[in-house]
Chains A and B, each alone.
Chain A
């Protein structure tokens, strides 16, 4: 139909069917609660139409439509797209690339149980997490006063989506489907002033039920081990950043700076430093949509282009950027690109559009989201890495940080300064060993990404999976030991919760 419209030079139809199901855990031993607060879902099917008007190759119109995939809906969308057409002088045309090789659907068998699964597995998983937590808590009754103050929170979530894209620039219809689950449990034992967490993600329903029960028990076990924490004074500390803090800092401070869009907007923390040494030479950072153990599996981007592994930082050097199709061209044609990339930037700017995704507030594809840039499975690994025990020994006297939260660029993205609060799963290191639990919310980290990644004391040898709340990516990160990290003490408040 669209090919017959004479005023169109090109067109693209992007269709998505997506669903997000969440069983939210909310249990408190001392306050009336539901245990599993609710099971909820959000289903969204629809399509987006992009048209390029024949009279001007830079004139583009966009319209979206929910639920109705009929020809009538397409005609209505076409009318709206025509009405909304504007001339963007930087519009490079619609993506055009050969079809990726391989099977039509990505690892369909691996995620089939999640793609097909109903509510029972999800409900049983969530209640299984609660059961596992309560069982672990009940196993140590001697430690509990009358009001134990056990709080369980978190969720078990299943995300699934199907995507198909057709374009006048392709000679085929490209399609993909995928699903993954995530499970996150946080346990607080308020009578002990302790907090422990456990999380997991994967692609199979049976695995989901197994890990959820285990996560509940693990979160409680960790919390029980962390009771009676100390509140150290502020100062510069030697620290081990566990995998979760490393993932948080990567998610909020590093990955957003490693895009062509951030370089073009002059807002990246690595402004003028493409090609330079931006991290320790032992560190490598990769985005891999095809990672063998990755929870996110993409063979196609939401622009119909091959989703490729992108090496962002190799042996500490900034060598790659995530990009969508528009931003790749925008940076390539930016008159200030030499300044923005820096003296070591490539003479010919050509960053592949291998990371153009249309995502909503969940990790699922959205029919009405414009192509942005996102990572998939973010993997940090290291040469010459050692065990966490070795890292702790290398620190000698300091702090092991297992969990942080509210990680933000306190002085803007480009400055690279961040702040976060040490919220749980943390210890004081004495004599090269984990000695005493650290009280939650006792310390705030005020540092710069350079202080974490530029000259670490040591790097870990095992990348662990980490969930970052609200992030569409899955993280697989090592632990790092660092020196001279500024920590400010959060004094035991007049309003202390413990």
Chain B
């Protein structure tokens, strides 16, 4: 069997799946809806460490998740999901259909169990249980569509050692930089996915994606100093974006070797640089697009996720500074400078691109902040109904066997019109903060401390001394409100590892922004 055979399994389900789901809902008492997500993936990955090969893996996988909503006599309803990894069993129609039927039955029974428990609790709570009254999710228009992947080098057709040679070469050249490089690890992945979404309402969507990603980790030491840096590049393209680099206005990347060498050089420079001893009080900070990617991610993107705003994530990841209650939110209110705008847009060809989310809703640009005014959230069908808005197609799962959660796509701060060199040139005394490292945030992201890779002094408009271990500390609204310059240099950064949910779902997306200037305090080492 060749690797491409597993992709034929999706074809059979495309033909048989809709009928299977319709029949299931019709034949099960109280079943309100059922969705099936099915995915086939082919993946190659390799890694090298300290100039030597470390691992290589080629794999093909298949799996699915069924979601069922079901009610019981009193009107209470429950929701449940069953996720299964099928592997090569997906090559055979009968075991695949049998597994899907069994999962549907299991999810249905779970949903009914949950509905009965809820009904029992409602009987005891009476009026105190008003918030538990069932609300229908926002409706979905049935849709049929097919979206191909875009790539030049098909991951399935790559020479088996192509990724390995690239990683080995990059790691060896980094190690050759000298004894200051104490350790390096380089990894690369290229994969092809086909997702199938089938709804009991006749929705049938096929989406194919090609992802390629390179990861670099370097530890440098110099005298008493040391520095670790980790960073990634990636595109929804084939291996060509790692081997040759990628030219793109918004999200360019060099080839993996060049990227790794630059990262190692930076780590070496930082290991030899002094630790930042920050001044007391606020200073002028100019933050570069890479730093602002983490700002967009943590302070705009996550609190713009409607499930977080509606307090569904309170136990794991906190709430949102954009919404205190349904009657007290920042929607329509100023949260930042008139120069500040931010959005999520899955239609852009970044790492977070898609056409439909995992509820079968078409993804579209969602404005979060427009000229400093907060406009709205990323949502799902359930949360859109609670908020009384249209769904914007933001419910995605990191793997097919997980439940869709509200996730960022390409979430970024919009560019302005100012040359970043002019933004720096206007600063009499301040700091230029480059590259993001680690975030520390208050529970609703109303306050943050984000560490940077490099911090430079700015004197009379000129970039001066380099420091390490610096971070930016601010109240979120104050920082946004004091933005007085926004650059024209928007860049998106591939983020391969945003974690959310229980169990944890690690998702790829893009974040970014242009150069910004504001006021904040600095933290040091």
Interface, chain A (partner B; CB < 8 A): 20, 22, 24-46, 61-68, 73, 76, 80, 83-90, 119-120, 123-124, 127, 130-131, 134, 138, 147, 149, 151-155, 157, 184-186, 188, 190, 197, 264-267, 271, 336, 361-362, 368, 370, 405-406, 408-415, 417, 419-421, 423, 440-441, 444, 446, 469-470, 488, 490-491, 493-497
Main DSSP-derived SS at the B contact region: mixed
B80 lies within 8 A of A38 (CB): yes
B160 lies within 8 A of A409 (CB): no
A66 lies within 8 A of B63 (CB): yes
B315 lies within 8 A of A184 (CB): yes
User: A28-B311, A33-B132, A134-B125 known; A40 and B83 CB under 8 Å?
Assistant: yes
B114 touches which of A31, A43, A87, A123 (Cβ 8 Å): A123
B55 lies within 8 A of A62 (CB): yes
Across-interface contacts of B324 in A (CB, < 8 A):
190, 497
Distance to closest chain A CB from B114 (angstroms):
6
- Bound-state Cα–Cα, A39 to B111, Å: 7
Across-interface contacts of A120 in B (CB, < 8 A):
113
- Bound-state Cα–Cα, A37 to B111, Å: 10
- Bound-state Cα–Cα, A411 to B311, Å: 31
A24 lies within 8 A of B443 (CB): no
Across-interface contacts of A84 in B (CB, < 8 A):
56-58, 160
Shortest Cβ-Cβ A-B pairs, 9 listed:
A66-B87, A153-B315, A186-B315, A266-B182, A67-B87, A495-B321, A493-B446, A127-B117, A419-B440
Across-interface contacts of B32 in A (CB, < 8 A):
none
Across-interface contacts of A80 in B (CB, < 8 A):
58-59
- Bound-state Cα–Cα, A155 to B312, Å: 11
B502 lies within 8 A of A24 (CB): yes
Residues facing A in B275-294 (CB within 8 A) are none
A64 lies within 8 A of B131 (CB): no
A493 touches which of B161, B437, B447 (Cβ 8 Å): B447
B226 lies within 8 A of A40 (CB): no
Known: A40-B81, A190-B325, A419-B440; 16 extra A-B contacts, CB below 8 A, are A38-B78, A76-B88, A80-B59, A131-B121, A155-B502, A185-B315, A361-B503, A362-B503, A408-B439, A414-B226, A440-B443, A441-B442, A441-B447, A490-B447, A495-B475, A497-B444
Distance to closest chain A CB from B239 (angstroms):
15
B325 lies within 8 A of A35 (CB): no
Across-interface contacts of B315 in A (CB, < 8 A):
25, 152-155, 184-186, 197
- Bound-state Cα–Cα, A62 to B58, Å: 8
Across-interface contacts of B505 in A (CB, < 8 A):
361
Across-interface contacts of B312 in A (CB, < 8 A):
26, 28, 33, 37, 153
A43 lies within 8 A of B83 (CB): yes
- Bound-state Cα–Cα, A36 to B78, Å: 8
B451 lies within 8 A of A411 (CB): yes
- Bound-state Cα–Cα, A149 to B221, Å: 51
- Per-position 1/0 for B484-525, Cβ under 8 A of A: 000000000000000100111110000000000000000101
Q: Please name the residue on chain A nearest to B481 by beta carbon.
A: A494
- Per-position 1/0 for B304-342, Cβ under 8 A of A: 000000111111101101101110001000010000000
Across-interface contacts of B226 in A (CB, < 8 A):
266, 271, 412, 414-415
Whether B183 is near chain A, meaning CB under 8 Å from some CB there, is yes
A153 lies within 8 A of B86 (CB): no
A34 touches which of B79, B87, B468 (Cβ 8 Å): B79
Q: Please name the residue on chain A nearest to B314 by beta carbon.
A: A153
A406 lies within 8 A of B81 (CB): no
Across-interface contacts of A266 in B (CB, < 8 A):
182-183, 219, 221, 226
B81 lies within 8 A of A41 (CB): yes
Residues facing A in B174-198 (CB within 8 A) are 182-183, 185
Distance to closest chain B CB from A481 (angstroms):
23
Across-interface contacts of A271 in B (CB, < 8 A):
226
Across-interface contacts of A88 in B (CB, < 8 A):
52-55
A406 lies within 8 A of B439 (CB): yes
- Bound-state Cα–Cα, A193 to B477, Å: 20
B476 lies within 8 A of A495 (CB): yes
A30 lies within 8 A of B326 (CB): yes
A441 lies within 8 A of B444 (CB): yes
- Bound-state Cα–Cα, A271 to B228, Å: 13
Distance to closest chain B CB from A96 (angstroms):
20
A22 lies within 8 A of B503 (CB): yes
Q: Please name the residue on chain A nearest to B229 by beta carbon.
A: A412
Across-interface contacts of A190 in B (CB, < 8 A):
324-325
Distance to closest chain A CB from B312 (angstroms):
4
- Bound-state Cα–Cα, A472 to B185, Å: 24
Distance to closest chain A CB from B280 (angstroms):
12
A138 lies within 8 A of B314 (CB): no
- Bound-state Cα–Cα, A401 to B37, Å: 44
Across-interface contacts of A85 in B (CB, < 8 A):
56
Across-interface contacts of B62 in A (CB, < 8 A):
66
Distance to closest chain B CB from A336 (angstroms):
8
Q: Please name the residue on chain A nearest to B501 by beta carbon.
A: A24
B85 lies within 8 A of A134 (CB): no
Across-interface contacts of A31 in B (CB, < 8 A):
131, 310-311, 325-326, 386
B504 lies within 8 A of A470 (CB): yes
Distance to closest chain A CB from B96 (angstroms):
10
Across-interface contacts of B111 in A (CB, < 8 A):
39
Across-interface contacts of A46 in B (CB, < 8 A):
85, 87
Q: Please name the residue on chain B nearest to A491 by beta carbon.
A: B475
A43 lies within 8 A of B85 (CB): yes
21 contacts between A and B (CB under 8 A): A20-B503, A29-B131, A30-B325, A34-B78, A34-B118, A44-B84, A44-B401, A67-B85, A67-B86, A68-B87, A84-B57, A86-B53, A147-B325, A188-B311, A410-B440, A415-B525, A420-B440, A421-B443, A441-B446, A494-B475, A495-B322
B502 touches which of A89, A408, A419, A469 (Cβ 8 Å): A469
B132 lies within 8 A of A34 (CB): yes
User: A32-B131, A495-B321 known; A490 and B442 CB under 8 Å?
Assistant: yes
B438 lies within 8 A of A408 (CB): yes
Distance to closest chain B CB from A335 (angstroms):
11
Whether B157 is near chain A, meaning CB under 8 Å from some CB there, is no
A470 touches which of B59, B438, B499 (Cβ 8 Å): B499
* Residue from B61, B469, B503 with most neighbouring chain A CB atoms (10 Å): B503
A267 touches which of B219, B446, B468, B475 (Cβ 8 Å): B219
A421 touches which of B109, B310, B441 (Cβ 8 Å): B441
Across-interface contacts of A419 in B (CB, < 8 A):
438, 440, 449
User: A151-B314, A495-B477 known; A66 and B86 CB under 8 Å?
Assistant: yes
Distance to closest chain B CB from A387 (angstroms):
29
Q: Please name the residue on chain B nearest to A36 by beta carbon.
A: B114
Across-interface contacts of A488 in B (CB, < 8 A):
449, 473
Whether B381 is near chain A, meaning CB under 8 Å from some CB there, is no
